[in-house]
A and B are shown apart, each in its own frame.
Chain A
């Protein structure tokens, strides 16, 4: 399943890294058959070891995932980064691997910034001294530029982000992903396979239409043996600013994230209410946590961040006690 299928492969390609590579009936006539049959493609990508060496100076890696689009992955990733970086002693980086729809530059207030090349690789863009950001958005010449790429090119870009960016010493690397369970997700997990990913935070909204995609993402995590830190329910209820009554705009008809977490035995990290000020802060590239620190949504955010910090530090103690 983790196998690579080249663009010019036949429909039933077993994958270049499969035991059957170059040997099946569908391999007949494939231009890659010789290479596959020679066994060269089954060797691990040398980039994986290089990435492993690069990431040796990164203490914690957290992926932010969701099967569903538009549930708030980037909003959450950005605020997780802001919250972790509010501790001046921590070095935090945010990597956006949504190649076709990079939202992180705008949400972090970095639209129009460009990446610089230095002796030690690409330099990320800094929001603060201890908060670095990397996104394909910084490599585009205009905000209208569309990245019309098939899988292999997207994978190449993700490899470069991990291997060729001068990340430096980091306490936390947060990886924001696109929706789905496809190239980007397989690649990030594969390329980070020689490092240690602390785990994934799964974002959902309360409706079943969203949860049904999120269950697929959870299944994906289990398939690739990615630990799940917990689930965040976003857009969970809306408090009218005028009359203070709560409305369920995206109604949890099947019990919401709470029921799903119970069913699948996963921790629910928190429920973040809808607040128009969150969308506004994101559009303006500001941290909602700084803009409206006393709002209910900000408090929920900070609680969630604390749980994630605890999870990561517990993991470190566990690792130490087992070695």
Chain B
């Protein structure tokens, strides 16, 4: 119990200097929560913000690879765990269970209570320092991790959630459940992003809607939420994430770049108007 009290005294080092906290949610897996989180973080940083990412997907952490910080150790300081910085300016901070595993292929076979305990530590004990926006990347579903992060954020702040979907009905169906989750738990929905909408063939420029089209916008209308925008399927984006490169720097002329930047702008302005 001593340990816990110490932690509480040190909470100043935790999230006290974090201006905005945004959850990235989706009922469905593989729709691009981590991709969107990473790209939003990079876009917000390009716009001059200090950004943090907390990855609470304990069984499948993807963020470290997407930001190319695979094998880094987490250090401890007086005010808690020091997040991993992706750059010398310390403008993008990151915390993930991926940094705590010795072997990247190790499976975290944990039931709820253990996951809940680690998320509690992630929320309270990471020394984020001064941040404009902290993005929290979540696993799919509406279960232990989600309840744990909300419980723990009560002591700090939470501006709201961004919901990610792909255009198909199968995906928007799961996101509708996530909207219910937000309503039940009193989380403000900052907007809906449609990912993987349309693929432009690099050979003939024909656009194919591989996962159908328009589901995200329709869902936003149906539920009275803001539609933040759609991000096209772009193999350049997948490759750049695989290699942990900064897409915003590598492909400033792509349609994906402008889609993500405009989403980041809309998000920023809605954060500034409570």
Residues of A within 8 A of B (CB): 1, 4-7, 9, 11, 13, 67-71, 74, 99-101, 103, 106-107, 143-152, 154, 178-183, 185-186, 205, 207-210, 212-213, 215-220, 223, 238, 240-243, 245, 247-251, 253-254, 274, 276, 279-280, 282-283
Q: Is B233 positioned at the interface, with any CB of A under 8 Å from its CB?
A: yes
Are A216 and B106 neighbours in the complex by a CB distance under 8 Å?
yes
Q: How far is the CA of A205 from the CA of B66 in the complex (A)?
A: 16
Residue of B nearest to A182 (CB): B59
Binds A, one of B9-17, B47-55, B177-185, B246-254: B177-185
* Residues in A neighbouring B184, C-beta threshold 8 A: 146, 148
Are B242 and A144 neighbours in the complex by a CB distance under 8 Å?
no
* Residues in A neighbouring B60, C-beta threshold 8 A: 67-69, 179-180, 213, 216
Are B242 and A70 neighbours in the complex by a CB distance under 8 Å?
no
Are A280 and B212 neighbours in the complex by a CB distance under 8 Å?
yes
Q: How far is the CA of A242 from the CA of B141 in the complex (A)?
A: 37
7 contacts between A and B (CB under 8 A): A5-B112, A6-B113, A67-B107, A103-B173, A207-B238, A216-B107, A243-B203
Q: Which 10 A-B pairs have the closest CB atoms?
A: A69-B29, A70-B30, A151-B112, A100-B141, A180-B59, A243-B204, A242-B206, A146-B180, A213-B60, A245-B203
Are A283 and B168 neighbours in the complex by a CB distance under 8 Å?
yes
Contact for A220 among B28, B109, B112, B235, CB less than 8 A: B109
Residues of B within 8 A of A (CB): 27-31, 34, 59-60, 62, 65-66, 104-117, 139-144, 146-147, 166, 168-171, 173-174, 176-181, 184-185, 199, 201-204, 206, 208-212, 233, 235, 238-239, 241-243
* Residues in A neighbouring B242, C-beta threshold 8 A: 207-209, 251, 253-254
Q: How far is the CA of A310 from the CA of B191 in the complex (A)?
A: 48
What is the CB-to-nearest-CB distance from A224 to chain B, in angstroms, rounded to a whole number? Answer: 8
Q: How far is the CA of A98 from the CA of B92 in the complex (A)?
A: 34
* Residues in A neighbouring B238, C-beta threshold 8 A: 207, 249-251
* Residues in B neighbouring A210, C-beta threshold 8 A: 30
Interface centre among B29, B171, B176, B239 (most CB of A within 10 A): B29
* Residues in A neighbouring B147, C-beta threshold 8 A: 148, 150
Q: A146-B184, A209-B65 are in contact. Are A106 and B113 (CB under 8 A)?
A: no
Q: How far is the CA of A282 from the CA of B215 in the complex (A)?
A: 14
Contact for B143 among A4, A149, A242, CB less than 8 A: A149
What is the CB-to-nearest-CB distance from A234 to chain B, in angstroms, rounded to a whole number? Answer: 10
Residue of A nearest to B233 (CB): A249
Query: Total contacts A to B, CB within 8 angstroms?
Result: 223
Contact for A101 among B109, B168, B174, B209, CB less than 8 A: B174
Are B112 and A182 neighbours in the complex by a CB distance under 8 Å?
yes
Are A209 and B142 neighbours in the complex by a CB distance under 8 Å?
no
Residue of A nearest to B182 (CB): A146
Residue of B nearest to A217 (CB): B107
* Residues in B neighbouring A4, C-beta threshold 8 A: 111
Q: How far is the CA of A182 from the CA of B57 in the complex (A)?
A: 11
What is the CB-to-nearest-CB distance from A100 to chain B, in angstroms, rounded to a whole number? Answer: 4
Q: How far is the CA of A151 from the CA of B201 in the complex (A)?
A: 43
Contact for A212 among B104, B115, B209, CB less than 8 A: B104
Q: How far is the CA of A187 from the CA of B139 in the complex (A)?
A: 19
Knowing that A68-B60, A181-B108, A223-B107 are A-B contacts, what are 15 other residue pairs whose CB atoms are under 8 Å apart, sorted by A's residue number? A100-B141, A101-B141, A147-B177, A150-B143, A179-B30, A180-B139, A182-B109, A217-B107, A218-B105, A238-B210, A240-B206, A241-B206, A249-B199, A276-B212, A279-B170
Are A243 and B235 neighbours in the complex by a CB distance under 8 Å?
no
Residue of A nearest to B202 (CB): A247
Are A100 and B27 neighbours in the complex by a CB distance under 8 Å?
yes
Q: A69-B29, A181-B59, A247-B201 are in contact. Are A1 and B143 (CB under 8 A)?
A: no
Are B181 and A213 neighbours in the complex by a CB distance under 8 Å?
no
Are B66 and A209 neighbours in the complex by a CB distance under 8 Å?
yes
Are B144 and A242 neighbours in the complex by a CB distance under 8 Å?
no
